[in-house]
Amino acid sequence: MTDKRKVRKAVFPVAGLGTRFLPATKSVPKEMLTVVDKPIIQYVVDEALEAGIEHFVFVTGRNKHVIEDYFDIHFELQQTLRERSKKAEMTILAEQLPKAGTVSFTRQQEPLGLGHAVWCAREIVGNEPFALLLPDMIMRGEPGCMRGMIDLYAQSGGNIIAVEECAPDQAHKYGIVGVGETVGDGFRITSMVEKPARGTAPSNFFINGRYILQPEIFSILEDQERGAGNEIQLTDAMLKLLKSQDFAGYVFRGETYDCGAKDGFILANVAFALERDDIRPHVEAQFKALVQGLK
């Protein structure tokens, strides 16, 4: 019988060093870099909240204590805002503060890859399905990507991977899935291949950094040999799980910004600034002028 137990927990692997954003990330975790006025990680957590996630598991590393502090009460700041009657700011902080007991942190002591980071969350997740959200990727769409995945999961159960379409001649840059029969509002995944050689990709649907996985993935990761980059690869473990469990693909039709890359980070700032009523009137004309000036 296909497992359809409720997805209550989400894992966020935030132990990465963020070397592509040095020197900024020398002292500030890349997940805490801001898009407009919110840290990248807040957008990803908001997506999980919209999907009904109840417990948030952060897999951290050294120098990531700032993330733990961010998801906590800052008494001195709150007192200062209260004394200055900054009610709007106090409301924002209150809305973004997780409920007590709904956030957990665990360490990934060694940088052994995404698969290892997921395995580090095993004791907190326990024997239940869970969501996995890569914190570099900010999604924008209605419904949110994870919300759509949860809806598909209610139809299909099993494991869900969010995918997007790319130009066929770009498929060699991504992790690509094979497409089977229709399942609910998605499709059956028949295969997965990481960066296939040109002309050999099974489709043009690429994995975009959102997953719903059954807990059996942990026992596979326990004994998973190192793969590409001498790291424990999640894709390798999912391929093994595919032999015994169903995987479905959810096609996300919104916009995705890879904030782990400088161009994606800048585009995210522009896009989210332009959708803000309090900012757009002040920056839209200047953005256009900058673009015209470069021509």
Nearest of 248, 222, 234, 221 to residue 2 by alpha carbon: 248
Instruction: Report DSSP letters for the chain, one per residue.
Output: --------EEEEE-----GGGTTGGGTS-GGGSEETTEEHHHHHHHHHHHTT--EEEEEE-TT-HHHHHHTS--HHHHHHHHHTT-HHHHHHHHHHSPPTTSEEEEE--S---HHHHHHTTHHHH-SS-EEEE-TTEEEE-SS-HHHHHHHHHHHH-SEEEEEEE--GGGGGGSEEEEEEEEETTEEEEEEEEESPPTT--S-SEEEEEEEEE-THHHHHHHTPPP-GGGS--HHHHHHHHHTTS-EEEEE--SEEEETTSHHHHHHHHHHHHHT-TTTHHHHHHHHHHHHHHH-
pLDDT given for residue 227 in this prediction? 65
Joined together, the tokens standing for residue 242 give 């595919």
- What is the number of alpha carbons within 13 Å of residue 281 lying toward its C-beta? 2
Nearest to 250 by CA among 192, 211, 202: 211
Give the CATH fold of the 9-260 domain. Answer: Spore Coat Polysaccharide Biosynthesis Protein SpsA; Chain A (3.90.550)
Q: Which two tokens stand for residue 261?
A: 């890359």
Dist CA 56 CA 81 (whole Å): 27
At 61, give phi and psi (nearest 5°).
-140, -165
Give the per-residue pLDDT at 1.
44
Q: What is the phi/psi pair of residue 223, to 5°?
A: -115, 15
Going from N- to C-terminal start, the domains of the chain cover 9-260
| Cβ-proximal residues to 24 (8 Å cutoff; 6+ apart), any chain | 18, 30, 33
Whether the Cβ atoms of residue 162 and residue 182 lie closer than 8 Å to each other: no
pLDDT score at 286:
86
Q: pLDDT value at position 128? A: 95
pLDDT of residue 152: 95
Task: Specify the residue for token string 């190192």.
Answer: 226
pLDDT at 16: 85
Cα separations (Å) of 64 from 13, 103, 134, 270?
11, 15, 16, 27
Each of the 295 residues of the chain gets a pLDDT tens digit; together they read 466 789 999 999 998 888 888 898 888 899 999 999 999 999 999 999 999 999 999 999 887 889 999 888 888 888 888 888 888 888 888 877 888 889 999 999 888 889 999 999 999 999 999 999 999 999 999 899 999 999 999 999 999 999 999 999 899 888 899 999 998 889 999 999 888 888 888 999 999 999 999 999 999 998 877 766 667 889 999 999 999 999 999 999 999 999 999 999 999 999 999 998 988 888 888 888 888 777 6
